[in-house]
Each structure stands twice: as C-alpha cells, then as structure tokens.
C-alpha cells in the first residue's frame, strides 16, 4: 500500500534528520517513489496530516508547528515538539 510506504519514508527521514531539523515533503516522495515522486506529492501531504494527527510528526510553516487540519502553502515536516 502506498500510504504505508510514504508514512515509513516520512518517519525514517524525520528521525534521521534529528532534533530541531526538518525535511521537505518532496524528500519523502523521492524516497518512496524515486521515478514518479511528483505524482505522489498529494499523497505525502495526506500521510503527513495523518501522522501529525497521531502526534508522530509536526507540520511546520515558517518554522512553526501548524494545525494539521488547517494549513496552506509551503510546509516542512519534523519531529514533534517535546512537551
């Protein structure tokens, strides 16, 4: 299933990047689908929203966490903030 593949790529890249760093969604798409990554960007966004709802990642806009249910434009993905 492509959603599992995308989620696994997001989690692996975010973890590898480490604390205080973020990834571009296109990095996850390229990791999961090297030849057709552009076709999967909307799936990456959906997977990112799903993972953010679960608290596994944070979606960032201009370096700040945003509500996964309500954001627009360019975004990045990172580890969730420590509480």
Please give the domain boundaries of the chain with CATH numbers for all domains: 2-78 (1.10.10.10)
Whole-number mean pLDDT of the chain? 95
% of the chain surpassing 90 pLDDT: 90
- 8: pLDDT confidence band, cut at 50, 70 and 90? very high
Q: pLDDT tens for residues 26-72?
A: 999 999 999 999 999 999 999 999 999 999 999 999 999 999 999 99
Question: Which tokens hold the place of 81?
Answer: 């903030």
pLDDT number for residue 1: 52
**Stretch (H or E) spanning 8:** helix 2-17
> Which pTM does this prediction carry?
0.93
pLDDT number for residue 81: 85
Pairing, β 76-78 against β 58-61: antiparallel
d(CA 73, CA 81): 21
% of the chain surpassing 70 pLDDT: 98
């Amino acid at each position: 299933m492509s959603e599992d593949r995308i989620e696994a790529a997001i989690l692996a890249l975010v973890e590898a990047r480490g604390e205080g760093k973020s990834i571009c969604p296109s990095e996850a798409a390229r990791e999961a689908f090297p030849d057709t990554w552009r076709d999967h960007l909307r799936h990456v966004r959906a997977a990112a929203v799903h993972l953010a709802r679960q608290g596994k990642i944070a979606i960032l806009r201009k370096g700040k966490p945003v509500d996964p249910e309500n954001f627009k434009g360019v975004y990045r993905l990172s580890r969730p903030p420590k509480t």
